[in-house]
């Protein structure tokens, strides 16, 4: 799957009409759902997840229990992590780098937000609750150094990456999410811990989050290296005009 994905020609970052950029990028993401479906059928939510993943029309999103979500993974298989073996590390330009267990994260103050989710390929899921620890809380606890400008996210799928500027990362609607749809986040949705960036397209919300590194510059993430916008505000990026989500 990864090799098929990387054969997709990477759109030029500069000097191209946005229409072409988004078209190519959307093809990449659309094809991805199809390729990822067989692996995901093994998951707990596998049946509808698999069907939805094969449906480029989005109509299965209207089925009950499908919830409107497609399951995406750029990795062929992702290890399952539980409270026993899950770790989140926070390091980089901070005074107090540390690791968190799932129980340690669960003990921190929680924020619950209910907003629409919008994927850059077009599907939208209304009013989805996410609950977790504000990223700003973890950053403050770590003591971000003055030279810091950005945050880089890594995932235990071994492949996906994301990034935010420090200002974006400190927004109150950016969470290290532990719950989604008022349930602990299941494996297929990126559990036990995923990022949730409410005001941006859903590709910013990295699943299977395992690392937060404070850096001195934004390093474009997985899809951003394939032409998607780094500043992925819903409705004012990627050539789209969706209603904002936050
Ligand atoms: N680790 C990881 N995170 C990821 C992705 C991915 O492939 N791998 N896909 C992104 C995209 S494009 C979307 S739309 C959402 C999909 O989340 P879902 O699978 O819970 O619907 O996850 C985002 N985060
Ligand atoms: Mo997406």
Task: Give the number of other Cβ atoms within 10 Å of residue 165's Cβ.
Answer: 14
Question: Nearest C-alpha to atom 8 of ligand 1 is from which residue?
Answer: 73
Q: What are phi and psi of 67, to 5 degrees?
A: 70, 0
Task: Please indicate whether residue 53, judged by its CB atom, sits closer than 6 Å to ligand 1.
Answer: no
Residue 56 has pLDDT above 80, yes or no: no
From ligand 2's centre to the CA of 40, what distance in Å? Answer: 16
222-230 average pLDDT score = 96
CA distance linking residue 230 with residue 115, whole number of Å = 21
The answer to whether the CB of 205 falls within 8 A of the CB of 164 is no
Which ligand sits closest to the CA of 74? 1
Task: Give the number of other Cβ atoms within 10 Å of residue 7's Cβ.
Answer: 7
Residue 181 has pLDDT above 70, yes or no: yes
185-192 average pLDDT score = 97
Q: What is the pLDDT of residue 61?
A: 47
Q: Give the pLDDT confidence of 117-141 residue by residue, as tens digits.
A: 999 999 999 999 999 999 999 999 9
Closest ligand 1 atom to 155 CA:
1
Q: Which residue has the higher pLDDT, 103 or 20?
A: 103
Task: Please indicate whether residue 203, judged by its CB atom, sits closer than 6 Å to ligand 1.
Answer: yes
From ligand 2's centre to the CA of 225, what distance in Å? Answer: 14
Task: Please indicate whether residue 204, judged by its CB atom, sits closer than 6 Å to ligand 1.
Answer: no
Residue 11: burial class (beta carbons within 10 Å; 0-12, 13-18, 19+)? middle
From ligand 1's centre to the CA of 16, what distance in Å? Answer: 26
48-61 average pLDDT score = 44
Residue 101 has pLDDT above 90, yes or no: yes
Q: What is the pLDDT of residue 3?
A: 31
Task: Please indicate whether residue 29, judged by its CB atom, sits closer than 6 Å to ligand 1.
Answer: yes
Please give the sequence-ordered ranges of beta strands (E in DSSP) within 53-92, or none if there are none: 88-92
Task: Please indicate whether residue 207, judged by its CB atom, sits closer than 6 Å to ligand 1.
Answer: yes
Structural domains in the chain plus CATH codes: 2-226 (3.90.420.10)
Q: What is the pLDDT of residue 32?
A: 52
From ligand 1's centre to the CA of 27, what distance in Å? Answer: 15
């Amino acid at each position: 799957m990864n090799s098929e994905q990387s054969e997709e020609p990477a759109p030029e970052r500069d000097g191209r009409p946005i229409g072409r950029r988004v078209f190519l990028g959307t093809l990449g993401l659309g094809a991805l759902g199809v390729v990822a479906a067989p692996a995901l059928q093994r998951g707990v939510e596998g049946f509808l997840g698999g069907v939805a993943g094969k449906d480029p029309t989005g109509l299965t999103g209207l089925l009950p229990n499908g919830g409107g979500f497609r399951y995406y993974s750029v990795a062929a298989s992702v290890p399952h992590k539980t409270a026993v073996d899950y770790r989140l590390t926070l390091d980089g330009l901070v005074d107090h780098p540390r690791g968190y267990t799932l129980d340690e994260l669960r003990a921190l103050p929680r924020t619950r937000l209910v907003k629409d989710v919008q994927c850059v390929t077009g599907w939208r899921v209304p009013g989805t609750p996410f609950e977790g620890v504000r990223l700003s809380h973890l950053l403050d606890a770590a003591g971000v150094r003055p030279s810091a400008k950005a945050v880089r996210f890594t995932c235990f799928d071994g492949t996906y990456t994301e990034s935010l500027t420090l200002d974006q990362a400190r927004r109150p609607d950016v969470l290290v999410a532990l719950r989604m749809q008022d349930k602990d986040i299941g494996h297929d949705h990126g559990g036990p811990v995923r990022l949730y960036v409410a005001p941006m397209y859903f590709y910013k919300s990295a699943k299977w989050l395992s690392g937060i590194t404070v850096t001195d510059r934004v390093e474009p993430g997985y899809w951003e290296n394939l032409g998607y916008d780094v500043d992925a505000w819903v409705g004012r990026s990627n050539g789209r005009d969706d209603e904002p989500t936050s």
